[in-house]
Amino acid sequence: MATIITRSAPGAAIETTIDYLLPTSRINRRFWAPGRELNTGEYKPYPVTIRNARLAPTPFTLDEHGFCLSRHRSGVGDFRDVEAVKAYPAEVAEVAKALTGCDLVVPMGGQLRSPVISGAGIQPPAAEAHVDFNTTTAHRIAAALYNKAVPGGPGFTRFIAFSLWRTFSEPPQDWPLALCEFGSVGDEDAVANVKVDVDEIPEGDALFAPIEGEDEMAAATIFHYNPAHRWWYFPDMTADEVIFIKFHDSDHSRAWRAPHTAFHDIGRPDAKTRESYEFRAIAYFSQ
């Protein structure tokens, strides 16, 4: 006799937890070595309400919220295929220009996230509230990439460091992406998390020893818990939907970043294992 599986439906909100940096965590570094990484930050799960963004009274926009949902059918048939994704940067540029009105998009690179595929360059879903760059890092990377892409160019008046995120798993997904409204996040909530590239992960006190040139190293932004944070998610994403996430918009008169993380949706008994692909790039606006 055939088994009939009834698809569950998302609710208006989910009560769950998100990992935030503890106030007592003082030296926050993410060490990267071949095949291994270690975060010195101390985190704790805090209770949060994550609301269904599909039920929001008005659409989410980049300028007001720091993220938005858009439709895009990719020509990439398999995001696990290294050769196939080589065509994807051009698609990312097309989407970014349509959503932002920018004049130039310079690619940075893609990231496959999967808990079921092992291999170099594959990571599990992100685990804590974060933004991939901090302000100093975003400005440094934007300038360097522009000068490399347009040597001697006229320059730019504004840039947006961003990610275009999509899942290629069937809905519903077990680890959706949660996004925090820009307007609910204060500057006092943010802390730099420095990326330290090493051959081998240090141990013991060496993890916290002074590092020459640490101020010049790339850094992400991590966050302390604040009950005012407003979290949202787009349940049941399809392969033809993408989320544009601002890491940093140099125009601070608009929403200029959006904290985000994965969370486990335990309320969907028929959930599929989430696999996703995100592509980072910089969008530039001409003089």
Tens-digit pLDDT profile for residues 188-231: 999 999 999 999 999 999 999 999 999 999 999 999 999 999 99
Prior bond to 172 cis, omega within 30? yes
Burial state string for 2-24 with b = 16 or more CB within 10 A and e = fewer than 16 = eeeeeeeebeeebebebbbbeee
> pTM of the full predicted structure?
0.94
Which residues have C-beta within 8 Å of that of residue 267, sequence separation ≥ 6? 8, 11, 14
Distance CA 60, CA 264 (A): 22
The number of beta carbons lying within 10 Å of the beta carbon of residue 147 is 12
Q: How confident is the model at residue 3 (pLDDT cuts 50, 70, 90)?
A: very low
Tens-digit pLDDT profile for residues 99-117: 999 999 999 999 999 887 6
Tell me what pLDDT residue 118 has: 58
Where do the structural domains in the chain lie, given as residue ranges? 14-56+65-286
Tens-digit pLDDT profile for residues 226-285: 999 999 999 999 999 999 999 999 999 999 999 999 999 999 999 999 999 999 999 999
